[in-house]
Amino acid sequence: MKAFIALSLLGTTLAAPTATLQGRDFDLSSLTSGLSALTSGSAASSGSSESSGSSGLSALASLFPSSGSSSGSSTGSSDTTSSSSSGSDGLSSLLSSFTSGSGSMTENGVTQHSGSCKKLTFIFARGTTEMGNMGSVVGPEVASQLASLTGNQVTVQGVNYPADWEGNMSLGSSGGPTMASYVKEALQQCPNTKVVLGGYSQGSMVVHNAANSLSAGQLSGAVLFGDPLKMTSVGKLSSSKVKEFCASGDPVCENGMNVMAHLSYGADAKEAAQFLVQAAGISS
């Protein structure tokens, strides 16, 4: 239940900042320092040294007083109202540190194929409520790391699927068939390209679903971030071609309580890209 509330808050966080999301570099450290500045800011304004609860969840919950469903009466101390103004300042700086990194939030390199074949094709499924078809937490950053590692020898496609809460209940079937169809389309356009997949959160389940309907030879690797199904295989891909990133405390891929951990995967983009390049046997 707590995790559900946390994820609802997360959804709010990701869905709200349309204006501030674009064009800034994703930087986990600024995110984290934004959060801790926030928390210490409200402690300072209340003049108390109490370090309350201090899980990412309670810190986040205090940022969204209106969306806390159980908050008819606050369980926190009486400084809740006095800290709310510093809270919203902190909130906007927190939100402005979410970004699409150096890549783009929407990529259609397969569905709008230009005709020039690349060594690698990267197809990515974003997480619940993320925007565009690549989202902003990790997909665009992996794509741009792949471009720099391969000397731009990569075609990138985001999965066009709803990525909504309802679809999240269906364990990936709301996007899996679409993702699988992109794989086949890519191989038809460019029979020698190596197709690798990526998914974040709900998008990881999309990857599992897609891979289940593909043959071993059609896929060369996969990276999954915050994957609820991390204990299950990715279709017929050998486990040596799959890398799971699960941040410590992530409530989605392990039984953690740290919502911020679920937003931290931009920091793994480079390692993920290196893994994919190696799994696909691409040399730049």
What positions carry a catalytic annotation? 201, 250, 262
Tell which positions 8-67 bind ligand NAG, by CB under 6 A: none
Asked if residue 154 lies in contact with residue 118, where contact means CB atoms within 8 angstroms, the answer is yes
Q: Which of 203, 221, 228, 266 lies at the binding interface for ligand NAG (CB under 6 A)?
A: 228
Q: Is 7 in the site for ligand NAG (CB under 6 A)?
A: yes
Q: Is 7 or 273 the residue whose CB approaches ligand NAG more closely?
A: 7
Task: Work out how close the CB of 22 gets to ligand NAG at its nearest, in angstroms, rounded to a whole number.
Answer: 22
Task: Work out how close the CB of 80 gets to ligand NAG at its nearest, in angstroms, rounded to a whole number.
Answer: 27
- Side-chain half-sphere exposure of 122, counting CA atoms within 13 A: 35
Q: Is 136 or 168 the residue whose CB approaches ligand NAG more closely?
A: 168
Q: Is 6 or 280 the residue whose CB approaches ligand NAG more closely?
A: 6
Q: Is 264 in the site for ligand NAG (CB under 6 A)?
A: no
Tell which positions 116-145 bind ligand NAG, by CB under 6 A: 128
User: From residue 158 to residue 177, what is the string marking binding to ligand NAG with x (rule CB under 6 A)?
Assistant: ----------x---------
Q: Which residues bind ligand NAG (CB under 6 A)?
A: 7, 128, 168, 201-202, 228, 252
